[in-house]
A and B are shown apart, each in its own frame.
Chain A
Amino acid sequence: MSQYILRRLMIAIPSLLGISVVLFVVLALAPGDPFSELATNPNVPPEVQAALRTKFGLDDPIYLRYLHWLVAMAQGDWGFSFVSRINVDTLILQRLPTTLYVVGSSQLLALLIAIPVGVYAATRPYSLFDQLANTFAFIGFSLPTFFTGILFILVFSVKLDWLPFVYTDLPGSGIKWALEMIRQAIMPVMVLGLFQAASMTRFVRSAMLDVIRLDYVTTARAKGLGQAKVIVKHVMRNAMIPVVTLIALQMPAVFGGAIVTEQIFRIPGIGSLLISSILANDTPVVMAVTFVFACLVVLFNLIADVLYGWLDPRISFR
C-alpha cells in the first residue's frame, strides 16, 4: 500500500513539471502587461513603465523566466505579485479561509441534499417524488450560477431586502458576528450548493439504481432484513464508490474557489484572486494558484483511489 502511494507520487512529479511548463508558456505568450494602467496617465512617462518591466524581469526570455520561477518554487519561494508587490503565499493564505468557508459549505449543502434525495428517489423510481426530484435536478444544472446569482440578488436583496449581496470579511467574534457571517454567506452558498446538488442528485440516483437491482440485494431482502438496513448497509455502501470519486475530484474546487460566484457576490476568495490576477496579467499569482490547483487535483485523485480500497476490499493495490 505505502509502496503504491510512493509510486503514484513519483509519477506525479513529471506530470506536474509538464503542467507547470504549459502554464508558464501560455501565460508568457499571452499579450498585455501588468502596468497597462500607467499608459494613459500623463503624469507617468512611458520610461517608468519600461523600467518596471525590466525590474520585474518581464523582458527576459521565457525559458530564463521559467527556470527562475522553478528554482525559486523548489525552495518554497512563490515569488511576489507584480500588482500588489506582496508575496504570493501571503496573498493566497489571506484568501483561502473565505473560499474554504463558502465553497466548502456549498459542497456540504450539496451532499446533504443530493444523498438523501438521490437515495430516496432510487428506492422509488418513477414515483411522483422521483419525477419531481428529476425535474428540479434538470432545472438546477441547466441554470448557470451567474444567472441564479443575479436572480437571487434581485429577489432577496433588491426586492425583499432580506440579505446583503456584498460579502465582506468582517472582523470580530461573538454570536452577532457569527450570525452576520452566516447571513451574508446564505446566497452564495445556496447558488453554488443547489447547482452542485442538482448534478450530484442524478449521479447518486443512478449509482443506487445500478446496485439496487443486483442479486445480493434481493438475497438480503429475502433473508428478511428491513428496508432501511438493506438500503443503508448493503446498497449504499457499494453505490457510494463512484460518488466518492466524484466528491474527491471536486475537492480541489473547494480550494480553488468559484470564479463566477465569487465575482458576483464580491467574495474575497481564491477564484476572485485568480480572475483579477489574470485580468491584470499578474503572472506569479496566476502561476501559483493554477499550479497549486494542479497539485490538488493530482493529490485528490490519489486519495480517491485509496478510498476505493477501503470501500471495496476486493480492489487491491499493486
Chain B
Amino acid sequence: MFDNNLRGMIDDVRDGRMDRRAFVKRMVAVGLTAPLANQILAIGGVAMAQSPNPYKPTKRGGGGPLKLLWWQGPTLLNPHFATGTKDQDGSRIFYEPLASWDVDGHLNPILAAEIPSIQNGGLAADAKSVVWKLKPGVKWHDGKPFSADDVVFTYEYASDPATAAVSSATYAGMTVEKVDDLTVRIKFKDPTPFWANAFVGAYGCVIPKHLFAEFKGGKSREAPTNLKPVGTGPYKFIEFKPGDLIRGEINQDYHMANRPYFDTIEMKGGGDAVSAARAVIQTGEYDFAWNIQVEDEVLLRLEKGGKGKTLYAVGGDIEFIAINFTDPNTEVDGERSSMKTKHPILSDPRVRQALALLVDRESIKKVIYGRAGRATANYLNGPEEFVSKNTKWEFSVEKASALLEEAGWKAGSDGIREKDGKKLKLLYQTSINGPRQKTQAIVKQACQKAGIDVELKSVVASVFFSSDVANPDTYAHFYADIEMFQIPMTQPDPALHMRRYHSRNVATKENKWQGPNFPRWVNKDYDAAVDAADTETDPIKRADLYIKCNDLMWQDNVMIPVMHRLAVEACSNTVRPALSGWANQTDNLQDWYRET
C-alpha cells in the first residue's frame, strides 16, 4: 500500500505534478528523514538537488595553514596503490574523483559537471551503462588540461592486472569509453544498480594520463609521479616523506569558486591516537586529527575547557561477533573449520540465540564506545533506506539460560553447563585492541552467569588480518568458535557488504581462505536474495532485498552485532571540516574552512 503510494508520488515529482519540497515534507510526516526522502527521489529517477557542503568564505585562499594530524602517516601517494585509509586520505589531497560522498551519503560532483541520473540521460534504464559529463576547464597541477582521456586511462591503469592496483576490483566487469573530450561512458557487463563505485571516492581518483601512460602495468612502481603527485585537487604538492609528512600549497587554478580556503596544508604522521587528540583538543598545535579511537572517558576529560572538540560521522561500520558454523576442532583433509563438518555446539540455533542474548550492548556502549557507538540489532546499518526496522535485540541472562536449558544443556556441578558429558565451552578470539579486550571481558562475564565457559584469545592485528595461508590465527581461518572484529562500509551501498556471506564465498583451504564468508554460513534464501539484489534495478525492491538479507542474518544469528561504530575525529573549535561517514575524511577537503 505504502509502496504504491510512494511510487505514485515519485512519479508526481518527476512529472512536475508535485513539488519536491512537498514530497520531502510528506515523507518526513510518515517518519522518514529528509535525506532519506531525497535519496528515494534520486533512486526513483528524480535528479538530486546538488547538495554542496555549507561553505562561507567568499574568496580563494587567505586562510593560513591547515594542520592535520594522522597518527598513522600516509606511506604512499598513488590512490590506486593505497593499501590503508591513511594512504587514501593522503592521496585525496591532490587527486580527485568525479564525485565524492557527502554527509548523508549523496553524491557531490567534483570533476563531474553533474551527477548522472535517469532524467539527465546519464543512467540507462537497464542499469547497464552510465554517462559522466566532465566539468570543462579543469587543469592538472602542471597546467595540462584534464579530459575524458584521463578518465579512460585511469580505468585502463587500474584494471590492468600487471599494475597490481588495489583498486582493480572497483574497475572490474566494465569497460570505459570516451564519447567526446568531456564525456565518458561506462558499460557494465551485468546490470549494476550501484553504479557509483568506479570514479567515486578514494579509489575513484583520476590520475593524469600524460604522466602515468609510460608506467602502466609492470613498471607501475617506477613512476616518479607516485612520489610527486600531480592532480586536480585543491592543494598542490610540495613535499612528501613516507609515514611522516605531506605538505601542499593552495592551487590558485582550482576549478571550484572561492575554494580552497587555506593557503598551505600539512599532514603529519606518527605517534598514537591519545596524544593526537591531545595535540588538537588540549594544546591546539594541530587543527584536525583523524580516527581518534580513544575511550570516551578520556576524550570527555580532554574536552573540558579545551581548544577543540570531537566530531562524529555516521557511516555503516559494524563491530560484530561472528559465529563459526563449522567445527574448528576437527581436522578434515588438513583443514579445520572445514565445510564438511558442523559445529557441535553452535549449529543449534537455540545456542546461537542464547549467545545473542548474552551480549550486553548497552553496557558495552556505556563503558567502552560512548558517543562513538550505537547499539544495534542489525548487521546492515546504513544508509537509511537499507536499515531494517524488523529486528530487535535484548540482553537477558534468564532468557539465555532458559534457551540453553531447552537445548539440553544442563548445569553441571561446577556451574558450567554440559550435555552428553560434554562441557559448554567456547573459544572467543579477536585482535589485540583495548576496546575489544574489554568487550570480550563483558561478554565472558555474562556467559559465565548463563553457564557458558568462554576462553578468550587475542591475536596481534597484523596477524589476525593477514592473508598468510600458513598462519592458523587469521580471522579468515577462523579456528575458534566465535570471533569479533569490525568490517568497515566504505561506500553508501550494501552490495559488497552483503555479498560477502553468499555461500559461494565460504573461506576454505581450497581458495586459500580468501573467500570472504568466514563464518561459513550457508543459507539458500540469503543467496537468492543477494543474487536478486545484484541485478535488481528497481531501487525500492532492491532495498527490500537487502533488508531481507539483514533479517535472515539476524534470524539465524550469524553475526551478533556488538556496536554500530561512528568515525571519531578531533577538530579545533574554529575549523569547519566537511566530513562524511561514507567516505574518507579528506573526501570533501575543498569545502573545509575556518570560522573567524
A226 close to chain B: CB less than 8 A:
no
B243 close to chain A: CB less than 8 A:
yes
CB distance from A280 to the nearest CB of B (A): 7
Q: In the complex, A268→B485 CA distance in Å?
A: 31
Greatest chain B CB density within 10 A among A51, A86, A166 is at A166
B117 close to chain A: CB less than 8 A:
no
The B433-485 residues at the A interface (CB cut-off 8 A) are: 460-468, 471, 473-476, 485
- Residues from chain A with Cβ under 8 Å of B466 in the complex: 31-33, 35-36, 39, 281
B549 close to chain A: CB less than 8 A:
no
A50 B75 Cβ-Cβ under 8 A: no
B282 close to chain A: CB less than 8 A:
yes
- Residues from chain B with Cβ under 8 Å of A161 in the complex: 283
Cross-chain contact of A279 among B271, B462, B500, B514 (Cβ < 8 A): B462
B76 A85 Cβ-Cβ under 8 A: yes
Q: In the complex, A47→B513 CA distance in Å?
A: 11
| Interface bits B245-269 vs A (CB < 8 Å: 1, else 0) | 1010000000000000000001011
B243 A41 Cβ-Cβ under 8 A: no
CB distance from B494 to the nearest CB of A (A): 10
Instruction: Spot the interface stretch: B47-55, B163-171, B560-568.
Output: B163-171
- Residues from chain A with Cβ under 8 Å of B365 in the complex: none
CB distance from B379 to the nearest CB of A (A): 13
B247 A84 Cβ-Cβ under 8 A: no
A22 close to chain B: CB less than 8 A:
no
B243 A276 Cβ-Cβ under 8 A: yes
CB distance from A16 to the nearest CB of B (A): 27
Cross-chain contact of B166 among A38, A168, A264, A273 (Cβ < 8 A): A38
A45 B169 Cβ-Cβ under 8 A: yes
Cross-chain contact of A43 among B247, B285, B490 (Cβ < 8 A): B490
A40 close to chain B: CB less than 8 A:
yes
A37 B268 Cβ-Cβ under 8 A: no
B516 close to chain A: CB less than 8 A:
yes
A168 B266 Cβ-Cβ under 8 A: yes
Greatest chain A CB density within 10 A among B170, B270, B286 is at B270
Cross-chain contact of B270 among A34, A49, A81, A266 (Cβ < 8 A): A266
| Interface bits A62-81 vs B (CB < 8 Å: 1, else 0) | 00000000000000000011
B468 A166 Cβ-Cβ under 8 A: no
- Residues from chain A with Cβ under 8 Å of B244 in the complex: 95, 169, 268, 272
A84 B243 Cβ-Cβ under 8 A: yes
B286 A166 Cβ-Cβ under 8 A: yes
B69 A36 Cβ-Cβ under 8 A: no
B285 A166 Cβ-Cβ under 8 A: yes
Q: In the complex, A164→B164 CA distance in Å?
A: 41
A158 close to chain B: CB less than 8 A:
yes
- Residues from chain A with Cβ under 8 Å of B419 in the complex: none
B203 close to chain A: CB less than 8 A:
yes
Q: In the complex, A55→B170 CA distance in Å?
A: 20
| Interface bits B62-89 vs A (CB < 8 Å: 1, else 0) | 0000000100000110000101100000
A245 close to chain B: CB less than 8 A:
no
B488 A41 Cβ-Cβ under 8 A: yes
Known: A31-B473, A43-B490, A158-B283. A166 touches B516 (CB 8 A): no
Greatest chain B CB density within 10 A among A40, A55, A95 is at A40
A268 B487 Cβ-Cβ under 8 A: no
Q: In the complex, A41→B168 CA distance in Å?
A: 13
CB distance from B160 to the nearest CB of A (A): 12
Which residue from chain A places its CB closest to the CB of B78 in the assembled complex? A85
A83 close to chain B: CB less than 8 A:
yes
Known: A31-B473, A263-B271. A80 touches B221 (CB 8 A): yes
Cross-chain contact of B468 among A31, A37, A38, A43 (Cβ < 8 A): A31
| Interface bits B232-245 vs A (CB < 8 Å: 1, else 0) | 00000011011111
CB distance from A147 to the nearest CB of B (A): 14
A43 B462 Cβ-Cβ under 8 A: no
- Residues from chain A with Cβ under 8 Å of B161 in the complex: 51
Q: In the complex, A210→B347 CA distance in Å?
A: 76
Which residue from chain A places its CB closest to the CB of B498 in the assembled complex? A42
CB distance from A285 to the nearest CB of B (A): 10
A84 B75 Cβ-Cβ under 8 A: yes
- Residues from chain B with Cβ under 8 Å of A169 in the complex: 241, 244-245
B402 close to chain A: CB less than 8 A:
no
Size of the chain B interface, CB-CB below 8 angstroms: 67
Known: A31-B473, A33-B466. A41 touches B271 (CB 8 A): no
CB distance from A33 to the nearest CB of B (A): 5
B461 A91 Cβ-Cβ under 8 A: no
Which residue from chain B places its CB closest to the CB of A52 in the assembled complex? B164
Known: A31-B468, A36-B467. A42 touches B462 (CB 8 A): no
Q: In the complex, A158→B307 CA distance in Å?
A: 12
Q: In the complex, A50→B512 CA distance in Å?
A: 9
B467 A40 Cβ-Cβ under 8 A: no
A44 close to chain B: CB less than 8 A:
yes
B356 close to chain A: CB less than 8 A:
no
A39 B465 Cβ-Cβ under 8 A: yes
- Residues from chain A with Cβ under 8 Å of B463 in the complex: 31-32, 36
B548 close to chain A: CB less than 8 A:
no
A212 close to chain B: CB less than 8 A:
no
Cross-chain contact of A85 among B226, B269, B512 (Cβ < 8 A): B226
Cross-chain contact of B81 among A51, A85, A95 (Cβ < 8 A): A85
| Interface bits A143-187 vs B (CB < 8 Å: 1, else 0) | 000000000010001100100111011010000000000000000
Which residue from chain B places its CB closest to the CB of A277 in the assembled complex? B243
The A1-54 residues at the B interface (CB cut-off 8 A) are: 31-53
Cross-chain contact of A83 among B83, B203, B221, B286 (Cβ < 8 A): B83
B46 close to chain A: CB less than 8 A:
no
| Interface bits B520-563 vs A (CB < 8 Å: 1, else 0) | 00000000000000000000000000000000000000000000
Which residue from chain A places its CB closest to the CB of B499 in the assembled complex? A42
A46 B496 Cβ-Cβ under 8 A: no
Q: In the complex, A164→B280 CA distance in Å?
A: 12
Cross-chain contact of A40 among B81, B170, B203, B465 (Cβ < 8 A): B465
Known: A31-B468, A36-B465, A281-B462. A165 touches B242 (CB 8 A): no
B227 close to chain A: CB less than 8 A:
yes
CB distance from B100 to the nearest CB of A (A): 15
Known: A31-B471, A43-B496. A81 touches B242 (CB 8 A): yes
- Residues from chain B with Cβ under 8 Å of A91 in the complex: 242
- Residues from chain B with Cβ under 8 Å of A157 in the complex: 283, 285
Which residue from chain A places its CB closest to the CB of B487 in the assembled complex? A40
Q: In the complex, A95→B244 CA distance in Å?
A: 9
Q: In the complex, A151→B496 CA distance in Å?
A: 47
Which residue from chain A places its CB closest to the CB of B496 in the assembled complex? A42
Q: In the complex, A85→B514 CA distance in Å?
A: 24
A40 B488 Cβ-Cβ under 8 A: yes
A48 B169 Cβ-Cβ under 8 A: yes
Which residue from chain A places its CB closest to the CB of B266 in the assembled complex? A168
The A261-316 residues at the B interface (CB cut-off 8 A) are: 263-264, 266, 268, 272-273, 276, 279-281
- Residues from chain B with Cβ under 8 Å of A168 in the complex: 245, 266, 268
B93 close to chain A: CB less than 8 A:
no
B359 close to chain A: CB less than 8 A:
no
Greatest chain B CB density within 10 A among A32, A83, A94, A169 is at A32
18 additional A-B pairs beyond A40-B486, A83-B76, beta carbons within 8 Å, are: A31-B473, A32-B462, A32-B468, A37-B84, A37-B465, A38-B166, A39-B476, A41-B490, A42-B497, A46-B476, A46-B514, A81-B75, A84-B75, A158-B278, A166-B271, A268-B244, A279-B462, A281-B466
Sampled A-B contacts (15; CB under 8 Å): A35-B467, A36-B462, A37-B84, A39-B475, A40-B485, A43-B490, A48-B168, A49-B514, A84-B75, A85-B81, A158-B278, A158-B282, A168-B268, A263-B271, A264-B271
Contacts from B to A (Cβ < 8 Å): 69, 75-76, 81, 83-84, 161, 164, 166-170, 197, 203, 221, 226-227, 238-239, 241-245, 247, 266, 268-272, 275, 278-279, 282-283, 285-286, 460-468, 471, 473-476, 485-491, 496-497, 500, 512, 514-516
The 10 A-B pairs of least Cβ separation, nearest first, read A46-B514, A268-B244, A32-B462, A84-B242, A39-B465, A266-B270, A36-B465, A37-B84, A84-B75, A42-B496
